[in-house]
Amino acid sequence: MVVVEKDLVTLNQDIAGQEIGIPVYRIFYKQRSDKQSFDKKTANKDNANKDALYDLSQVKSTSKKQLPKVYIQSAVHAAEMQGSAVIFKLIEQLKNLTLHAEFTLVPNCNPFGRTQRAGEYLQGRYDATTGNNWNRFYHYEPSDVVEFVETLTEQQISLIENGSESELVLAFKSFLKYKFGLKLDQDWGVNTAQFLNTTLQEIAVDADIVLDLHTGPASTHHIYSPEFLTQSAHAFNFENIISIPTTFAGALDEASFTPWVYLAELLKQKGITLNYKVNAFTIELGSQENICLTQAQSDSGGILNYLQANNLIDGFVGVTPVEVTTTLLKNYKTLFSKHAGMVEYLAKPGDKVNKGQVIARVLNSLEFDTKHAVVDVTAPESGTIILHYPSAAVQVGTQLFKIAVS
Amino acid sequence: MVVVEKDLVTLNQDIAGQEIGIPVYRIFYKQRSDKQSFDKKTANKDNANKDALYDLSQVKSTSKKQLPKVYIQSAVHAAEMQGSAVIFKLIEQLKNLTLHAEFTLVPNCNPFGRTQRAGEYLQGRYDATTGNNWNRFYHYEPSDVVEFVETLTEQQISLIENGSESELVLAFKSFLKYKFGLKLDQDWGVNTAQFLNTTLQEIAVDADIVLDLHTGPASTHHIYSPEFLTQSAHAFNFENIISIPTTFAGALDEASFTPWVYLAELLKQKGITLNYKVNAFTIELGSQENICLTQAQSDSGGILNYLQANNLIDGFVGVTPVEVTTTLLKNYKTLFSKHAGMVEYLAKPGDKVNKGQVIARVLNSLEFDTKHAVVDVTAPESGTIILHYPSAAVQVGTQLFKIAVS
Amino acid sequence: MVVVEKDLVTLNQDIAGQEIGIPVYRIFYKQRSDKQSFDKKTANKDNANKDALYDLSQVKSTSKKQLPKVYIQSAVHAAEMQGSAVIFKLIEQLKNLTLHAEFTLVPNCNPFGRTQRAGEYLQGRYDATTGNNWNRFYHYEPSDVVEFVETLTEQQISLIENGSESELVLAFKSFLKYKFGLKLDQDWGVNTAQFLNTTLQEIAVDADIVLDLHTGPASTHHIYSPEFLTQSAHAFNFENIISIPTTFAGALDEASFTPWVYLAELLKQKGITLNYKVNAFTIELGSQENICLTQAQSDSGGILNYLQANNLIDGFVGVTPVEVTTTLLKNYKTLFSKHAGMVEYLAKPGDKVNKGQVIARVLNSLEFDTKHAVVDVTAPESGTIILHYPSAAVQVGTQLFKIAVS
Amino acid sequence: MVVVEKDLVTLNQDIAGQEIGIPVYRIFYKQRSDKQSFDKKTANKDNANKDALYDLSQVKSTSKKQLPKVYIQSAVHAAEMQGSAVIFKLIEQLKNLTLHAEFTLVPNCNPFGRTQRAGEYLQGRYDATTGNNWNRFYHYEPSDVVEFVETLTEQQISLIENGSESELVLAFKSFLKYKFGLKLDQDWGVNTAQFLNTTLQEIAVDADIVLDLHTGPASTHHIYSPEFLTQSAHAFNFENIISIPTTFAGALDEASFTPWVYLAELLKQKGITLNYKVNAFTIELGSQENICLTQAQSDSGGILNYLQANNLIDGFVGVTPVEVTTTLLKNYKTLFSKHAGMVEYLAKPGDKVNKGQVIARVLNSLEFDTKHAVVDVTAPESGTIILHYPSAAVQVGTQLFKIAVS
pLDDT surpassing 80 at residue D58: no
What's residue C10's pLDDT?
A: 86
Minimum-distance CB partner of C333 among B16, B127, B188: B188
Average pLDDT over residues B363-391: 97
Q: Tell me what the pLDDT averaged over chain C comes to.
A: 92
**Is D318 exposed, middle or buried, given 0-12, 13-18 or 19+ CB atoms closer than 10 A?**
exposed
Confidence at residue A365, expressed as pLDDT on a 0 to 100 scale: 95
Q: Which residues contact C371 (CB under 8 A, 6 or more apart)?
A: none
Distances (CA, A) of A72 to A24, A102, B343: 10, 11, 21
User: What is the per-residue pLDDT for A35?
Assistant: 52
Helix axes B252-269, B192-204, angle to 10 degrees: 60
Helical (H) or strand (E) element with A184:
helix A166-185
Mean pLDDT of C222-246: 97
- The pLDDT assigned to C31 comes to 76
Per-position DSSP letters for A41-90, written without gaps between them: GGG-STT--TTSPP-GGGS---SSPPPPEEEEEE-SSTT-THHHHHHHHH
Cβ–Cβ under 8 Å, residues A205 and A177: yes
pLDDT-derived band at D51, boundaries 50, 70, 90: very low
Chain C hits for A20, Cβ within 8 Å: 14, 18, 20
Per-chain mean pLDDT for chain A = 92
pLDDT score, position B32? 60
CA-only gyration radius of chain C, Å: 23
Name the amino acid, one letter, at D89: K
Q: Is the pLDDT of residue C96 over 60?
A: yes
Mean pLDDT (whole number) for B281-306: 98
Nearest to C84 by CA among C41, C118, C122: C122
Asked if residues A262 and A274 have their Cβ atoms less than 8 Å apart, the reply is no
Question: What is the tens place of the pLDDT at every residue in D140-194?
Answer: 999 999 999 999 988 888 888 888 899 999 999 999 999 999 999 999 999 999 9
pLDDT at B38 over 60: no
pLDDT tens-digit readout, D295-338: 999 999 999 999 999 999 999 999 999 999 999 999 999 999 99
- C:D CB pairs within 8 Å: 145
Mutate to test the interface with D, among B115, B122, B192, B289 (most CBs of D within 10 A): B115
Instruction: Say if the Cβ atoms of C117 and A108 lie within 8 Å.
Output: no
Q: Chain C residue closest to D124 (CA)? A: C119
For residue range C129-175, list pLDDT tens digits in order: 999 999 999 999 999 999 999 999 888 888 888 888 999 999 999 99
Pick the more confident residue, A127 or C61.
Answer: A127
> Could you report the per-residue pLDDT of A374-404, keeping only the tens digit for each?
999 999 999 999 999 999 999 999 999 999 9
Residue D61: per-residue pLDDT: 47
Q: Hey, how many other C-beta atoms are within 10 angstroms of the C-beta on C207?
A: 22
| pLDDT of C248 higher than 90 | yes
Residue D16: pLDDT over 90: no
**How does residue C34 score in pLDDT terms, banded at 50, 70 and 90?**
low
Of all residues in chain B, the one with the smallest CA distance to D75 is B16
Cα of C7 to nearest chain A Cα, Å: 12
Quick check: D81 and C393 CB within 8 A? yes
Q: Does C21 touch chain A if contact means CB atoms closer than 8 Å?
A: yes
For the stretch B235-254, pLDDT in tens is: 999 999 999 999 999 999 99
Confidence of residue B40 (pLDDT cuts 50, 70, 90): very low
Chain centre to alpha carbon of residue D262? 19
D315 CB-side CA count, 13 A: 9
Burial class (CB within 10 angstroms; exposed 0-12, middle 13-18, buried 19+) of B232: middle
**CA quadruple B265, B266, B271, B273: dihedral, nearest 10:** -50
Count B/D contacts: CB-CB distance under 8 Å.
63
Taking each helix axis from N to C end, the angle separating B82-94 and B293-309, rounded to the nearest 10 degrees, works out to 60
At residue D162, the pLDDT reads 84
Q: Which of C274, C278, C156 is nearest to C211 (CA)?
A: C278
| Element holding C158 (H helix, E strand) | helix C154-161
* Mean of per-residue pLDDT scores for chain D: 92
Answer yes or no: do A119 and C108 touch at CB < 8 A.
no
Within 13 Å, how many C-alpha atoms sit on residue A373's CB side? 17
Mean residue pLDDT across chain B: 92
Distance from C-alpha of A284 to C-alpha of D29, rounded to nearest angstrom: 60
Q: What pLDDT was estimated at residue D159?
A: 86
pLDDT value at residue A64: 57
Model pLDDT, residue B97: 97
Helix (H) or strand (E) holding B394: strand B393-394
Dist CA D329 CA C144 (whole Å): 66
pLDDT in the model for residue A28 = 96
Flag whether residue C394 sits within 8 Å of chain B, measured between CB atoms.
yes
Inter-residue contact D279 to D232 (CB < 8 Å): yes
Q: What subunits touch chain B, counting only 3 or more CB pairs under 8 A?
A: A, C, D
D363-389 average pLDDT score: 97
Q: How far apart are CA A114 and CA A116, in angstroms?
A: 6
pLDDT at C38 over 90: no
Sign of the four-CA dihedral A182, A185, A186, A192: positive
User: Considering chain D, what percentage of its residues have pLDDT values greater than 70?
Assistant: 92
Interchain pair B392, A368: CB under 8 A? no
In this structure, what are the phi and psi dihedrals at residue D342, rounded to the nearest 5 degrees?
A: -105, 125
What is the reported pLDDT for A41?
Answer: 42
User: Would you state the pLDDT for residue A206?
Assistant: 97
The DSSP secondary-structure symbol of A374 reads E
CA distance A365 to B73: 12
Smallest Cα distance from C18 to chain B, Å? 7
The C-alpha atoms of residue A165 and residue D257 are separated, in whole angstroms, by 50
Contact residues for B364 (Cβ-Cβ < 8 A; gap 6+)? B339, B340, B341, B342, B372, B373, B374, B375, C16, C17
d(CA B320, CA B342): 39
Q: What is the pLDDT of residues D181-212, one digit of tens each?
A: 999 999 999 999 999 999 999 999 999 999 99
The string of pLDDT tens digits covering residues D71-121 is 999 999 999 999 999 999 999 999 999 999 999 999 999 999 998 999 999
Q: Are A393 and B289 in contact (CB under 8 A)?
A: yes
Q: What is the pLDDT of residues A62-117, one digit of tens each?
A: 445 689 999 999 999 999 999 999 999 999 999 999 999 999 999 999 999 998 99
Percent of chain C with pLDDT over 70: 92
By Cβ distance, the residue of B108, B117, B391 closest to A365 is B108
Q: Give the pLDDT of residue B304.
A: 98
Residues 6+ apart with CB under 8 A from D193: A397, D127, D130, D132, D133, D134, D136, D137
d(CA C53, CA C46): 16
- Distance between CA atoms of residues B84 and B101, nearest Å: 21
Residue of D nearest to B118 (CA): D128
Burial of D276 (0-12, 13-18, 19+ CB in 10 A): middle
- Closest by CA position to C256, among listed C264, C248, C267: C248
For residues C87 and D368, the answer to whether their CB atoms sit within 8 Å is: yes
Q: Which residues contact D405 (CB under 8 A, 6 or more apart)?
A: D327, D331, D332, D333, D381, D382, D383
Q: Is the Cβ–Cβ distance between D94 and D5 less than 8 Å? A: no
Test B368 with A107 for CB contact under 8 angstroms.
Answer: yes
pLDDT band at D262 (very low <50, low <70, confident <90, very high): very high
B5-14, B341-350, C284-293: least confidently modelled range: B5-14
Instruction: List chain C residues with CB under 8 Å of D114.
Output: 393
pLDDT beyond 50 at A50: no
Average pLDDT, stretch A240-267?
97
Query: What is the C-alpha separation between C203 and D145, in angstroms, rounded?
Result: 69
Please give the pLDDT value at position D42.
41
Q: With contacts defined as CB-CB under 8 Å, which chain D residues touch C87?
A: 365, 368
Give tens-digit pLDDT for B147-175: 999 999 888 888 888 878 999 999 999 99
